[in-house]
Structure 1
Amino acid sequence: MKPLSSYISIIMIIILLSGCSSSSQDDISKEKLSIYTSIYPIQFLVERIGGDTVVTKTIFPPGVEAHSYEPTAKDMVSIAKSDAFIYMGGGMEGFSETIASALESEQVELIPLSANEELFEHSQRTEIHGAREEEHNHHDHNPHLWLDPIRMIRMGQSVKDVLIELNPDKRTIYEKNFNYLSIELKLLDKKFKETLQNKTKREILVSHAAYNYWEERYGIIQIPINGITSSEEPSQKDLVTIIKEADKSNLHYVLFEQNTINSVSAIIQKEIRAQAFVLHNLEVLTENDIEHGEDYFSLMYRNLNVLDKVTK
């Protein structure tokens, strides 16, 4: 795949050429905000809070690996024509800085949610079990905030503020929708706590280290095979240590993810004779998720069911 930077000059030409023919489309789109997003949780927030006042679309195709995906030139042109592109930043998407550079002269608002440090407040340095702790701590923040329902509320607050800034006439709608969503997220958090609070065996062997916030809020102890991005594979020495850690904790499960094929995790599963389960990291929806009408809440409750099975 070509590096994204090689598309920039082509993209700018396409944008200029397409500008003349976009006026009628712009007139129609003024009725609703046009919002592009990266990861699915942001798309979900925009849809739930914006309601009928927004048209939102993720640039990620179903089921892709979100950390390594690069948008196409067509994606970039679509983003440039929209009102805003809301993305996570903070290392979540590999392309975010390049997009910001390529589109800085366009009228589209570029909004990285991770720029809001309040999203990470009260986040303590959690213990990352296994051989990869040092590598993990090279990251200032783990960007997988949405897996914590309370931090998802904070993300929603940021999205609500963006929508109000873009369309202040709809403030009442956005605040009402946000308040309803907050209630649902608090109920989800309550259910996680009720299900996990009395567990005494909390270790989970996961394919990549996305679950720091479950450690902090619910006492889950993750043993990650890969780093914060699923492409950060362990060394041979790390593998030996992870297998020993799994044996020591008497783990009988390996938790794979819906959008990654991890050969290393499969090796460890075979080595420790573990049963496989799937956790949904919610970075992107799969074709199957879309076909069956899954959303943030249905997938998070499914994750909770998995955690309930693999902890004791």
Structure 2
Amino acid sequence: MKSPRLLAGVSGLAALALLGACATTSSPTVPGTKRVVAAIYPYEWLAEQIGGDRVTVEGLLPPGGEAHDLELTPQQVADVTVRGDLILYESSFQAAVDSAVGQGTKGTALDVRTLVQNLDTTESADGHDTETPTDAHDHAADPHLWLDPTNMVTVAAAVRDRLIALDPDGADAYRANTDTVTAELRSVDAEYSAGLASCDRRGFVTSHEAFGYLAQRYGLQQISIRGLDATVEPTAARIAEVQDLAKREGITTIFYETAVSPAVSQAIARDAGLTTDVLDPLEAKPTDTSRGADYLGVMRANLQSLRTANGCR
């Protein structure tokens, strides 16, 4: 994972002056609202659903961006440290965000990772080793917890409570909105449970190791070409491992994602005579709305892709 780099290097009083200037040029907070800063799209979406017109939500990751490789501008650092009333992020996921939060925040910084049981990437749903790169060194807690919609239910409750603490007058609205989004998330969970209950195969090949929570929740086996960091290219040995596993498990589809190059996935599929399809890790807001315009839509598109690839009935 790359080290964070500010686009302009400043220090001391100059840094404070720059942050103050950035606060005046950043997208304005709507008068009377609370400002929520979200490090990745799922939490940006959730804050919008729960906060409604009582919040202004600022996403740090641009649409179609790659979360692991995020770099913050001085303006975004100011959003985290000075302007945000509530900051939603995961520690040890995006180094640039960790660095900004570590400078201290005026608002409440909520580390979403602390809200759920973290998934160790060395274990799968059945307690056995996951099929991940043997030469990887990033075995740690998987940050992609939002791909299990029941985790998002937990996060929603925490966001609701923080917003109520910041804005007690909006308590009824926050509770009602949370009830609505919770029902939607539980509906997606039920669709996954039913849709993946009866399949010809349980394994699926992913571009990077983003789908551990999803696999654990629905009894699937993730075979990842890369480790947790999508920006680290696989070795030739790992590619050979994936090709062997795909053949052994009767895999029909090699999944890729739009935020990183599909070249490796396409090459593996081509050499093995397999098809390719998109499985979106949902780190960033979708740019291709044909596969869903928001979190719920993309989750449902991912479900359909998995059902087709795994021969589910």
TM-score by length of 1: 0.86
Distance in 2 between the 1:236 and 1:124 partners?
21
Matching residue within 73, 87, 90 for 2:89: 87
Match for residue 58 of structure 2? 57
Mapping 1:275-294, distance limit 5 Å: 275-289=275-289, 294=293
Give the SS at the match of 1:301. Answer: helix
| Contact map agreement 2:89 2:110 (CA 8 A) in 1 | yes
| Contact map agreement 1:258 1:281 (CA 8 A) in 2 | no
Match for residue 78 of structure 1? 79
The alpha carbon displacement at 1:30 in A equals: 5.0
| Contact map agreement 2:223 2:242 (CA 8 A) in 1 | yes
Match for residue 303 of structure 2? 304
Match for residue 118 of structure 2? 120
Mapping 1:150-165, distance limit 5 Å: 150-165=150-165
| Contact map agreement 1:43 1:57 (CA 8 A) in 2 | yes
Distance in 1 between the 2:223 and 2:123 partners?
15
When the two chains are superposed, the root-mean-square deviation of aligned CA atoms in Å is 2.9
Q: Deviations over 1:142-166 (max 9, x none)?
A: 1111111111101111211221121
Q: Deviations over 1:98-130 (max 9, x none)?
A: 11123x1x52333221133x3538999314543
Distance in 2 between the 1:72 and 1:122 partners?
32
Change (3 A) 1:61 1:239: same
Q: Which moved more, 1:206-215 or 1:263-272?
A: 263-272
Change (3 A) 1:167 1:122: farther
Give the SS at the match of 2:288. Answer: helix
Match for residue 180 of structure 1? 180
The alpha carbon displacement at 1:266 in A equals: 2.7
Q: Which moved more, 1:154-163 or 1:264-273?
A: 264-273
The alpha carbon displacement at 1:304 in A equals: 0.8
Give the SS at the match of 2:225. Answer: strand
Answering whether residue 95 of structure 2 is matched by residue 98 of structure 1, we say no
Distance in 2 between the 1:219 and 1:293 partners?
24
- The amino acid of 2:95's aligned partner reads G
The alpha carbon displacement at 1:230 in A equals: 0.6
Distance in 1 between the 2:22 and 2:144 partners?
36
Give the SS at the match of 1:223. Answer: strand
Q: Which moved more, 1:59-68 or 1:6-15?
A: 6-15
Answering whether residue 273 of structure 2 is matched by residue 273 of structure 1, we say yes
The alpha carbon displacement at 1:8 in A equals: 5.3
Answering whether residue 109 of structure 2 is matched by residue 110 of structure 1, we say yes
Matching residue within 13, 16, 34 for 1:12: 16
The alpha carbon displacement at 1:241 in A equals: 1.4
Match for residue 224 of structure 1? 224
Where does structure 1 lack aligned partners over 5 or more consecutive residues?
none
**Number of aligned positions between the proteins:** 302
Q: Deviations over 1:240-278 (max 9, x none)?
A: 111111111222211111212143223212221221100
| Contact map agreement 1:90 1:114 (CA 8 A) in 2 | no
Distance in 1 between the 2:53 and 2:273 partners?
49
Change (3 A) 1:29 1:7: farther
Q: Which moved more, 1:44-53 or 1:118-127?
A: 118-127
Where does structure 2 lack aligned partners over 5 or more consecutive residues?
none
- The amino acid of 2:259's aligned partner reads N
Distance in 1 between the 2:291 and 2:199 partners?
31
Q: Deviations over 1:211-256 (max 9, x none)?
A: 1112211111111000112123322222211111111122221111
Change (3 A) 1:241 1:60: same
Name the structure where helix makes up a greater proportion of residues. Answer: 1
Give the SS at the match of 1:67. Answer: helix
Distance in 2 between the 1:130 and 1:121 partners?
15
Change (3 A) 1:173 1:77: same
Mapping 1:134-283, distance limit 5 Å: 135=136, 138-139=139-140, 141-283=141-283
| Contact map agreement 1:130 1:224 (CA 8 A) in 2 | yes
The alpha carbon displacement at 1:187 in A equals: 1.2
The alpha carbon displacement at 1:71 in A equals: 1.2
The alpha carbon displacement at 1:34 in A equals: 1.2
| Contact map agreement 1:11 1:77 (CA 8 A) in 2 | no
Give the SS at the match of 1:231. Answer: coil
